[in-house]
Chain A
Amino acid sequence: MAKGNPILMNGIRHECITPVSALDNEIGIRSLADYESKARYVPDGKPGGYRAIQHVLNNMSPEQVIDEVKASGLRGKGGAGFPTGLKWSFVPKDHLGPKYLAINGDEGEPGTFKDRYIMEDCPHRLIEGAMIAMHAIGAEQTYCYIRGEFYDSLRLLDEAVKECYAKGYLGDNVFGTGRRMHFQVHTGAGAYICGEETSMLSSIEGSRGHPKMKPPFPAIEGVFRKPTIINNVESIACAPAIIDAGAGWFTARGTEKSPGVKIVSVSGCVRNPGWWEIEYGTPIGVIVNELAGGLLPGRKLKGLIPGGSSCPVIKGEAAFDVPFDYEGCVAGGSMLGSAAMIVLDDSIDMVGVMRNFSKFYAHESCGKCTPCREGTRWMLQIHQRILDGGGTMEDLDLLIDIINGIEAKSFCPLGDAAAWPVRSAVERFPEDYIAWIEKSSRFNALKADGNGSASPAGSEETAGVEAN
């Protein structure tokens, strides 16, 4: 990590570690005039607002755009990391009738706060990206689904869209080329499940946010039963920079399998929490200690969740050495997810954290399938019982048993998201659970009767076996 290159720190350029931001120079640019006149980061340094889309409309076929995005290796930023270019190529080319682009701005994962800053601070970059994507997939309409609580994002993006309509950048004759491109900001109404792609489509259609069966995949039959491509806000916002600067500019950053840059949001027990756009592969220790100001004075790292509350907790300071990319996080025992880093220091009780996460998922489960609807509630009840002083050693096995019943058996990924962090906590931090259980009256009464069957060491072993 060479020093001396600029990095974006909460909107200010810092001479710090290596990352070069695609968002650079664009934070705080809300008006169309500013966006057009100021330079984004491009090799030749020319001012660039809406330059990429005009280049695309005049000189590039949809296939060329898709090839360029494929070559850049851009991966979806919403959590799964699916290659964006490949996704765009799934839309049937011979389809007659409307196709749609749906942008997922239903940012709801605990710990995540990245999309809102794109929508609030550089909304035009998102609109330009959406236009490039619409050209690539042959769509004429974008729905940008934003969670209802983001009143500022909704308002600022809507104002930016109106500016574009007024100037003829959006509408029935985009930049005088005769192409139709429409962009509609669509509000959600407070349901985390609508961040799941098919639930989001249900919600746009005006129904309860229940996930739909796949196949047919949304690229074949999505919103209003028409081919639909769904991308995260951040993925779409990368498109103008890729077109402008070329795929090579993007692949020069990050790692081989995770090229480019990513916004990471750091929260929890750090001195300067916030968000930064970093290169993939930056060690987590650099992000926490250099960007987020390190841990609070006198504290030690207990665990770290790299990708939001849905991801397993990495134990101890080994987390600092994990490179922050898709492969590195998996090797480190977790996932990159939405790059929402939650830092937990040694003052934190893992049972309390997991009770809270279970409460979140129990509240947000849509109720469509039984494993998730019932399982999340049981996990909450067991955590609550342990914290209320009624836990027994068997509760650890019971939790793993319930997790086995949710994981990979629920209808959509929400069940997995609820189960993974709890499994990691039970397996990697059993001492936290045992400390509560040993204080519990129920455990001690059972022990006095000679029934306190599972010893602490025993249940730890069982937990490990069940996991395999």
Chain B
Amino acid sequence: MPELHTRDINPAELPKQITDFVKGIATQYPNTKAMLIPTLIEAQKYYGHVSDEVAMAIGRLLKVPYGEVEAVIDFYTMILQKPTGEYIVGLCDTWNCEWGGAAALKEHFIAKYGKGVGEITDDGKFTLLMVECLCDCHNPPSLQFLQRGEHFTPTWSNNLTVELFDAILDDLAAGRADALRERFVRMERKQNAPDDRNWVWLVTTRNQYPCVLEGSGDAMKVIDGFGKFGDLKNDNPALHAEIAAAAKEL
């Protein structure tokens, strides 16, 4: 886990991710201030928040007065000033997601951990944040798990029910590697199917897909509309099994 700095830091001491990032994009801009927001976002990804010390160091690195850095941090909602858990759980509650049940997820999180929005859970794993429209409105309720650190990992988790949300949180807390895998939510026959094949409307924790199912059981093939599954049976056998089981009941 990255070290949280509590003292004045020299720009040269900033993590390599951040200094390399600045070097990589410097030629694209006529001045250094233009790099401020992308650089702060890199720091946010690394630390999970941007402390005053880091903000000051980034200001020195980019030769932007500290006041202007603070003004920017204050304005943009993705740059947080207070420390967060290892995962930021960004839950959307704009209309589509509110309609899709975001409030139930929020209540469940608060009841499960006894921590409100913006607080860190006791195990240091999660911080729930309510965010405005994530523009994934066809997959309500929509949320993102953002794992901070050297290898920042963002993962969409959509169409969630309270049970699935709870299972994902438990799996993440237990450190299971496939906790954020694509999971099955529900399935129905596709409306207005274009041909006679076995078209279904598949809802997973990533997306809603039109899919064609061929064969059944273990040999079932899922041909999805986005071409993002690849070899589902090898890549995500659990999801394959869940779809096969649901297909039997369809």
Contacts and interface: CB of A to CB of B under 8 A. Distances in A.
Given A190-B131, A364-B132, A98 B90 contact: no
Interface in A193-231: 203-209, 224
Given A98-B30, A274-B138, A360-B133, A187 B192 contact: no
A289 B191 CA distance: 9
B76 A192 contact: no
B215 interface: no
B36 A206 contact: yes
Contacts of A190: 76-79, 131
A267 B25 contact: no
A110 B133 contact: yes
B75 A208 contact: yes
Given A11-B225, A149-B78, A189-B78, A206 B137 contact: no
B227 A28 contact: yes
A271 interface: yes
A206 to B, nearest CB: 4
A168 to B, nearest CB: 16
B95 A294 contact: no
A186 interface: yes
B225 A110 contact: no
Contacts, number: 176
A184 B208 contact: no
Contact of A265 (B33, B36, B138, B201): B138
A27 interface: yes
Nearest to A149: B134
A10 B137 contact: no
A272 B37 contact: no
A10 B25 CA distance: 34
B119 to A, nearest CB: 20
A342 B188 CA distance: 22
B190 interface: yes
Contact of B137 (A16, A113, A182): A113
User: Interface residues of B toward A: which range?
Assistant: 35 or more
A41 interface: no
Contact of B38 (A187, A205, A268, A294): A187
Contact of B191 (A110, A203, A272, A360): A272
Given A189-B78, A356-B95, A363-B132, A15 B195 contact: yes
B108 to A, nearest CB: 20
Contacts of B139: 273
A130 B133 CA distance: 27
B205 interface: no
A116 interface: yes
Contacts of A152: 154, 156
Given A151-B154, A267-B96, A293 B191 contact: yes
B2 interface: no
B226 interface: yes
Interface in B55-86: 64, 68, 71-72, 74-79
Given A192-B132, A224-B30, A112 B76 contact: no
Interface residues of A, number: 70
B243 interface: no
A274 B208 contact: yes
A366 B71 CA distance: 13
Contacts of A116: 135
Contacts of B188: 271
Nearest to B190: A272
B136 interface: yes
A14 interface: yes
A107 B137 CA distance: 12
A271 B201 contact: yes
Most chain B CB neighbours (cut-off 10 Å) among A10, A28, A353, A357: A10
Interface in B178-217: 188, 190-192, 194-195, 201, 208-210
10 contacts: A108-B132, A108-B133, A110-B135, A111-B137, A149-B135, A184-B29, A206-B33, A206-B68, A207-B71, A294-B191
Interface of B: 25, 28-31, 33-38, 40-41, 64, 68, 71-72, 74-79, 90, 93-96, 98-99, 131-140, 144, 154, 156, 188, 190-192, 194-195, 201, 208-210, 225-228
Interface of A: 9-12, 14-16, 27-28, 98, 107-113, 116, 121, 141, 147-152, 182, 184, 186-192, 203-209, 224, 265-269, 271-275, 289-291, 293-294, 309, 340, 342, 348, 352-353, 356-357, 360, 363-364, 366
Lowest 3 A-B CB distances belong to which pairs? A293-B191, A190-B78, A189-B76
Given A151-B144, A204-B34, A364-B132, 15 more contacts: A12-B210, A27-B227, A108-B133, A151-B154, A152-B156, A184-B25, A189-B78, A190-B131, A191-B77, A206-B33, A207-B71, A273-B208, A291-B192, A294-B192, A356-B94
